[in-house]
Amino acid sequence: MLPGGTVMELMDAIRGRRSIRRFTEQPVTHDEIKEILDAARQAPSWANTQAWEFVVVRDRARIEAIAGSYVEKNPATKCTLSASAVIVACARSGVSGCYGGKDLTKFPHWFMFDLGMAVQNLCLRAHEMGLGTVVVGLLDHTACSKAIALPEGVESVVVIPIGRPAVAAKEGPPRKPLGEICHLDSFDGRFID
């Protein structure tokens, strides 16, 4: 819901959602975080494995440790430290895209695809609610996992700082035209002129 109780149209949410790296000091509530996590868990997954886990971090020392796991000069460090909360999106390895502990596809780590859909749901719902997020993947995953005491077999994949945007989001960069990225019947077939 947007302020005033209006509902955001899906394509408006998709086109309007931006990475937010500056937050106000106003906290995001527990119920708001539950709302966005509920959206995340509605994502589809391989054979409904739902191999994702979400760790909500509010403890300032843990948030500092997570930010400390980022590579040097990561532009998300400052916003992570000022975020009302941080959500670490994790996945259980050896579940999605696997059977009997063996990968079933050419591409291992199918959980990345499943988790990507869940994180997109999370970010779109947060945007619809007037909250800001940024997805951070450039980090030392082992250090991040240690900061939140992940058990063996659960991998930290991305960190999502969340807060109330301090400034209005700017229009995003242009997207490639459909004619550049869509093909018909084979890679050399033109889907759109």
Cβ atoms of 91 and 45 within 8 Å: the answer is no
For the cut 60, the answer to whether the pLDDT of residue 176 exceeds it is: yes
**CATH hierarchy code of domain 10-181:** 3.40.109.10
Q: Which element (helix H / strand E) includes 163?
A: strand 154-163
**Euclidean distance between CA atoms 182 and 189, whole angstroms:** 9
Task: Please give the distance of CA 110 from its chain centroid, rounded to a whole number.
Answer: 16
Q: What is the pTM of this model?
A: 0.90
Q: What is the pLDDT of residues 25-81, one digit of tens each?
A: 999 999 999 999 999 999 999 888 889 999 999 999 999 999 999 999 999 999 999
Residue listed under structure tokens 């054979």: 47
Where b means 16+ CB within 10 Å and e means fewer, 64-77 reads: ebbbebbeeeeebb
- For the chain, what are the domain ranges? 10-181
Residue listed under structure tokens 């109780």: 5
pLDDT average, residue stretch 16-29: 93
Q: What is the pLDDT of residues 122-173, one digit of tens each?
A: 999 999 999 999 999 999 999 999 999 999 999 999 999 999 999 887 888 8
Other beta carbons less than 10 A from residue 100's beta carbon: 6
Q: What is the pLDDT of residues 77-127, one digit of tens each?
A: 999 999 999 999 999 887 777 777 777 777 777 788 899 999 999 999 999
**Euclidean distance between CA atoms 90 and 125, whole angstroms:** 19
